[in-house]
């Protein structure tokens, strides 16, 4: 069993070749294996966005400082973490050869590297939207963003990260709210069905809302270490940005009205969530739908003449599996022994391992090992070929179920504050408790325990009770946790 998940995380991210810290503080380099996971996530999300009527576009990296300032809450929310471009040229000192920003090339107005793009996009939407016939406008962009990070953690919190940000404009509040909920559902489906990560769908409390939002919806999960993670958010922005950037449309009745907005995003932190949802002491465990390699085939041999035959067989099998649409790798590297390879691909979380040895050649068999259970057995080639897709499907499902059971075990319905504190101190997890609905109580609990209200789950029924902290009346329970 893993004792220190924090240490485990660092080690796995590094050893599995997912990412590493870059020389610029807070930034990361995403290595090929990590990038391949991101590509699989991106492509599947992108397909879902397009299927629900969204179009991709691309807006500039730089935002004039004055734009950011137009929505008061927004600038306040991001001011502490903005990278600012002040010069557009550098200069080498002819004597010392030192390089520095050229003082003669200072920008009149500094530019912020986008921490999110509401402001630049709504400035653009003003030109794109004239009448009700231009609505809804359903735009998404895939981009890098920068939020200066004081306590960086690979994938989970980095100064630069990659994400998608959807920005939509609607004629009515109802339609915008419906869109915000639609995207929350798309995120939840993606998390559960693709990443095998169970999530709670909920609303954020006012103090946890996105800066500039009227309502923030979120999907929240709990990781193996007992910490919660916000895995994606979808915001109903009301008319805040439309008013800040004067975006109005002509209704069918020829009246000018402000547009209603949403924005929503998920990022490379999902890779962190993935790692900390399914790992074990051997390393990563990847759900098949986001595994860059779904099946690794390792030929083994003792004598030289066996080597070419098992290797050839491995490639034949690989070809047959590829024709089924699978992502397959043959590891026939002669520099490493089978045992080394077994460890390596277990560390990297490949769902299925096949081993082809000399005896398998005659028997027409192959040894199958499942990463998530460790189970091994020898099967006929025919069975492999007919069953592999359903095995992978089964693994996908099993990982989801296992994570769900774990989260249920880590979720505690608590009635008194002492127990809540104790649980948060010892094992963490979700605390399901009553709250009186005030920001003061929320802040006091956060200050005393480090836990925040992750969300008010949408599925929960109202349930009158007493606030766990103040004893005042509560309309229902909320989800507390310490979070990344």
Contact by Cβ (8 Å): 369, 353: yes
Closest CA to 232 of 222, 220, 215: 220
Sign of CA dihedral 45, 266, 119, 452: positive
User: For residue 233, what are the contacts with CB-CB under 8 A and spacing of at least 6?
Assistant: 204, 210, 216, 217, 218, 219, 264, 265
- According to DSSP, the β-strands at 411-413 and 430-434 are parallel
- The CB-of-311 to a second copy minimum distance in angstroms stands at 19
- The CB-of-348 to a second copy minimum distance in angstroms stands at 14
Contact by Cβ (8 Å): 103, 115: no
> Assign residue 226 a region: left if phi > 0, alpha if psi is -120 to 50, beta otherwise?
left
- The CB-of-122 to a second copy minimum distance in angstroms stands at 12
- The CB-of-267 to a second copy minimum distance in angstroms stands at 13
Residue bearing tokens 């929503």 = 264
- The CB-of-100 to a second copy minimum distance in angstroms stands at 7
Residue with Cβ nearer a second copy (3 or 97): 97
Residue with Cβ nearer a second copy (73 or 185): 73
Contact by Cβ (8 Å): 258, 239: yes
Burial 319-346 (b: 16+ CB within 10 A, else e): eebeeeebbbbbbbeeeeeeeebbebbb
Residues that bind a second copy (CB under 8 A): 20, 22-24, 27-32, 35-36, 38-39, 55-69, 75-76, 79-92, 97-101, 110-113, 120, 123-124, 127, 133, 139, 143-144, 146, 148, 160, 162, 335
Residue with Cβ nearer a second copy (85 or 380): 85
Residue with Cβ nearer a second copy (84 or 439): 84
Beta bridge partners, 249, equal 257
Contact by Cβ (8 Å): 195, 287: yes
- The CB-of-309 to a second copy minimum distance in angstroms stands at 25
**Phi and psi for 206 in degrees, rounded to 5?**
-50, -40
DSSP conformational letter for 193: I
- The CB-of-466 to a second copy minimum distance in angstroms stands at 40
Residue with Cβ nearer a second copy (324 or 336): 336
Residue with Cβ nearer a second copy (31 or 446): 31
Structure tokens at 179: 């869109």
- The CB-of-20 to a second copy minimum distance in angstroms stands at 8
């Amino acid at each position: 069993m893993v004792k220190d998940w924090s240490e485990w995380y660092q080690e796995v991210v590094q050893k599995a070749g997912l990412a590493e810290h870059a020389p610029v503080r807070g930034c990361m380099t995403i290595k090929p294996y990590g990038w391949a996971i991101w590509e699989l996530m991106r492509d599947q999300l992108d397909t879902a966005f397009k299927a629900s009527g969204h179009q991709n576009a691309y807006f500039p990296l730089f935002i004039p400082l004055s734009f950011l300032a137009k929505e008061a809450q927004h600038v306040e929310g991001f001011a502490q973490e903005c990278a600012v471009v002040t010069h557009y040229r550098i200069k080498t000192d002819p004597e010392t050869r030192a390089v520095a920003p050229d003082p003669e090339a200072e920008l009149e107005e500094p530019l912020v590297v986008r921490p999110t793009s509401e402001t630049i996009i709504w400035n653009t939407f003003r030109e794109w939207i004239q009448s009700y016939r231009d609505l809804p406008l359903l735009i998404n962009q895939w981009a890098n963003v920068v939020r200066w990070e004081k306590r960086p953690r690979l994938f989970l919190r980095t100064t630069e990260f990659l994400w998608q940000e959807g920005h939509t404009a609607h004629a009515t509040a109802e339609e915008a709210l419906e869109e915000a909920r639609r995207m929350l559902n798309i995120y939840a489906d993606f998390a559960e069905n693709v990443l095998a990560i169970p999530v709670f769908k909920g609303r954020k409390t006012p103090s946890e809302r996105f800066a500039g939002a009227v309502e923030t919806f979120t999907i929240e999960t709990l990781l193996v270490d007992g910490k919660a993670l916000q895995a994606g958010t979808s915001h109903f922005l009301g008319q805040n940005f439309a008013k800040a950037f004067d975006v109005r449309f002509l209704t069918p009745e020829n009246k000018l009205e402000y547009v209603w907005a949403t924005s929503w995003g998920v990022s490379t932190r999902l890779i962190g969530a993935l790692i900390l949802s399914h790992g074990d002491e051997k390393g990563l465990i990847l759900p098949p739908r986001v595994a860059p390699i779904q099946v690794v085939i390792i030929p083994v041999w003792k004598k030289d003449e066996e080597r070419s035959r098992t290797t050839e067989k491995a490639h034949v099998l690989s070809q047959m599996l590829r024709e089924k649409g699978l992502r397959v790798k043959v590891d026939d590297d002669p520099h490493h022994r089978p045992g080394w390879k077994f460890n390596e691909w277990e560390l990297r979380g490949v769902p299925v391992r096949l081993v082809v040895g000399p005896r398998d050649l005659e028997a027409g068999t192959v040894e199958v090992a499942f990463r998530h259970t460790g189970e091994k057995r020898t099967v006929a080639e025919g069975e492999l070929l007919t069953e592999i897709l359903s095995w992978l499907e089964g693994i996908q499902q099993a990982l989801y179920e296992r994570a769900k059971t774990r989260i249920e075990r880590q979720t505690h319905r608590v009635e008194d504050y002492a127990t809540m504190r104790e649980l948060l101190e010892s094992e963490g997890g979700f605390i399901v408790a009553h709250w009186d609905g005030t920001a003061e109580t929320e802040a006091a609990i956060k200050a005393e325990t480090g836990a925040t209200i992750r969300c008010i789950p949408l599925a929960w029924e109202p349930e009158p009770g007493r606030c766990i902290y103040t004893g005042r009346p509560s309309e229902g329970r909320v989800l507390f946790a310490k979070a990344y």
